[in-house]
Structure 1
Amino acid sequence: MNIFNYLVIVLLVCSQTTMAAKGGGRGGKTTASPHTITVPADMSVEATTPQGIAVSYAIIALDGNGNTTGYNCTPTSGSLFPVGNQTVSCTTEGKKQLRATDSFVVAVTEPSQPISPPPELQLPADITVEASSTSGGAIVEFITSALPENLNVSCLPSSGSEFNIGSTAVECTTSDSEGRTATGSFQVTVNSLPIQEPPVEEPGPSTSSLTVSWAAPSTRENGEPLSAAEILGYEVYMLAEFSGVDTIIEINENSTLSTVIENLQDDTYHFSISAIDSDGLSSQPSDIMTVVVQTP
């Protein structure tokens, strides 16, 4: 065997040995370590409300390499626990064969002191008003209160504020000495004023006027002469035929021999005239004059 053949054989043997070593490495198996979970010790707390108390707790969950991992607990941290004993069960997340589980008990005892009820707001119902002008809003006042009665109530916008046209939510809140709060709201709606149209005057019924005139009598009914000085005045009788209105117009001047009658509506009017002397005696009515009034 020469030296070249020897070198080739050695190289081939070394190459095969290296490959066998690598193959053996791929064939090995590793086993993952299980998770661990640490829960709090059993705890006892006192209820702060008639419903119980919200309890928070801390959990430490690690995988097999000591890294934090996810977990699930029931009931969850921060849940409301009622009076009595309740078990909290916790389990890590991941493959079932690696999970860790543990539990602890939360014992909620009755409150040692009477529990006052939480604050309660008493707000008005929704408010609707009209704007104070056609362009502006309206100043709105309202009353709020809270139970217990000595609690202050804060609202935004506050009572007495000017509210714009439209709907605005009023947000209110109150707090008691224990830090418990109550919130609520109501709506204030301001309607715009309707535009006032000027009133339209309806035309009244058409009317007319007429002048009634007469001559002064110169004799009495028995034929005796009658001077103007003996005449005290006249009475004009007017009867509206359709409306049935009967009117007497007194003329207290003997020198007045006519009168204007105004605001006559469409009708048929009958007139007669009597003279009154200084003794208060009335003459017989004159012949009836008939006038028909008809406006165009």
Structure 2
Amino acid sequence: MVTMTNSDTPSADKLAKYFKEKIENLRNTLPQNTTNIDKFFECLDLTPVFHKVQACFDFVQYFSDAVIKSTSFQQVTYQNKLLTMKFLVPGAVHFLLLCHLRLVVSRALPVNPQIPICENLGWCGNHIMEQLRHQLNILNSTAKSLYETYKYKQQFDDELCRPTDIDFPSFHMNGTHGKERMVELYKVFIYMNASLGNITRDQNDLNPEAKDLLTLLRNTTAIIRGVISNLTCLLCEKYKVTDVDVVYGRSTKGSNIFNKKKQGCEVLRKYMRVIDKIAQVTRSDKAS
């Protein structure tokens, strides 16, 4: 077993071996308990080792190839979660760098920074739009469940969750195409990535027993990171966009419990409505 400590500077080969051993352990128990899938998402948050990006990329590639093809892998619940990871592979190097840069963090983020998005861009693949549409369809199909579960756990009603004081980025169904639309999408998902980090942190503190909600939050975050990867590839390689002004929204650190819950509910309700519009637009773009 490869051991990892903060003082180590491991080689890429050692990291690849370390990740593969983790996945082999998961494979042995996958059919028994859904929490093992969640452990995989936790593996992606091993911050001390993310400076070895290529090894992390090998880890994601190995996981998607080895586990999805497993003959013992029959249950739809697992298939959906693992297919999510399969669609994270294109643009995975940039995705892992996003994790390394800690866009989903527990500290306050700058409100309106400009991101040099193409630095250290890795392999992007040949079917980015197809993968992006698939990811957006998954997000759209799960957004209502996420919102309703969150609302129920907070004991809120729809009126309390009506967006009144959030700076959610704009998305226009009409009048934008190509580069402008991809930039709008990038801003939306960067915002949601950071917002879900705040919401997940708060719910870990306020509702640690709400495992179903926490799982939905983690899985949604994982898919959104994949969306960001694919959007980054499109912006950099196709549209030659290198910088995007983004808004992360307000951190809830220091807020009282009610305001933390309310802000999370407002964001998730707005997200549920926006992701439906986004999915509609991307489907119609494909049809045309």
In the superposition, the TM-score normalised over structure 2's length comes to 0.19
Name the structure where strand makes up a greater proportion of residues: 1
Larger radius of gyration: 1
Name the structure where helix makes up a greater proportion of residues: 2
In the superposition, the TM-score normalised over structure 1's length comes to 0.18
